[in-house]
Each structure stands twice: as C-alpha cells, then as structure tokens.
Amino acid sequence: MLKGKVAVVTGSTSGIGLGIARALASAGADILLNGFGPREQIDALCGDLVKEGVRAVYNPADMSRADDIEAMIAFATRELGRVDIVVNNAGIQHTAPVEEFPVDRWDAIIAINLSAAFHVIRAALPQMKARGWGRIINISSVHGLVASSNKAAYVAAKHGLIGLTKVVALETATSGVTCNAICPGWVLTPLVQKQIDDMAARDKLTAEQARARLLGEKQPSQAFATPEQLGQMAVFLCSDAASQIRGAALPMDGAWLAQ
C-alpha cells in the first residue's frame, strides 16, 4: 500500500516508534529511523527493515534542537528522495508535583514532546502540499485528553500536541494531506516494563501482581496496547480509507477514557 512512500519516524529506535516504523515498512514505505542507542544496534534495526524490501536510513537528530530537525528532514529528502509521512513519536517523561517540578525538565519535555512536532511538520509540510499527498501522525497520549497528578509537563505537552494536530488538520483540510493524533494509554514498552519491575522490587510483588496494579489504576481492559497495534493504526491512517479522518485524537486506551 505504501510502496514508493517515505516515512520519517522520530524516537524510533525502540518502543512505540520502532513498532510504527516496522509496520510502515511492512506496508512498503521506506523509513528514516531517529533516536538514541548503540550504533551497531541501530545498524541492525536498519538491516531488519531492509529485509522487508524497503530502504532504511538513520539520522541522530536531537529533537530538542530545531536546526537538527530541519537538517533531518533535508537528509531524508536527499537520501530517500522525499518525505510523505511523518510520525512525531519522540518523547520523554518526568514526574513531580508542580511546585517541585525542575524547570529544566519542564523545558526539555515541552521541547521534545511538543515543539519538536511543530518543527518536523513545518519542515516537511511544504513538499507534502506540493505533491498533493501526505500523512502527519502525532503520537499524543490519553494524557492529551485527561490528566494525572505529578505529570504537569507531559500532560501540558500532550494536550498541546492535540491542539497542534487540529490546527494543521484545518490548514490542510482541502488538500491530500491529513493530520491526526493517536492517544495510547498504557503500552508495554521497555520503559513501562522498567516501571513494573521497579514496582515489583519496591513493594515485594510478583511481576504479574505489579503489572495488574499498574493497569488496574487506569486501564479497565487490564491489558496493554502494543507497539505493533499502534503501528497498524498508523498504517490505517496512511490508507485511502482514512483520507477523511482529519484532526482526530484517536484513543487506544483499553477504555481508560470511558470511565
């Protein structure tokens, strides 16, 4: 379905971003990976994508730097010929009460979780408009729609990302470019697995008990979404069937928001 298209996926060397990159590659898209990790591991990930019959390149752009982001889109255009799909997935987290929240952590979270998406879209949108086709997918969160304590910066950034999604959707409404947000609840990534392991060690629980407690606080399905499921949602949003889904915030949250 996506043969001949090129996708840039930020924060895609692990977790949700990697799941999305793999799904897009399986649908035929050439991929630019971005993120951190040992170079040999990243080279192996690119090699795995190439086995799908697509091209894959890597760019180490720092998502907190606007100039790095602009250079990354230019690199993708030069190396792969174009940019048709962008998935703004890169994100970081820090938890603390508002009055104790470190200013540098606030600034970093807003920069990487929100401003980076603006810089990616700003750099890639002109060529999408010129070709009359594009897909912008912002990975927000259920926390883009509701809040939790001690996550001021993350919740603010994810709410802002949904606002940005709506504005871009309106500005591209009569074009072949769409912009939507996916809003996951708990997703089983290495980062979340570490939270489970830490909770189990701290509270003397089994891994299964810690997992149930984490899910039980918020996610009624008692099951994690997976990076693979988010990847398939991204592929669907790139399809013709989704061409009139515009400015949507699509929860994948196991009924979190239904409560």
| Cβ partners under 8 Å of residue 145, min gap 6 | 159, 162, 183, 249, 251, 257
Contact 22, 45 (CB under 8 A): no
Map residue 131 onto helix, strand or coil: helix
End-to-end CA gap in the chain: 37
Contact 142, 251 (CB under 8 A): yes
Residue 246, CB half-sphere, CA atoms under 13 Å: how many?
Answer: 16
The residues annotated with a catalytic role in the active site are 154
Query: Among residues 81, 80, 61, 79, which one has the least CA distance to residue 71?
Result: 61
Query: Among residues 33, 60, 59, 36, which one has the least CA distance to residue 47?
Result: 33
| Residue 150 to residue 133: CA distance in whole angstroms | 40
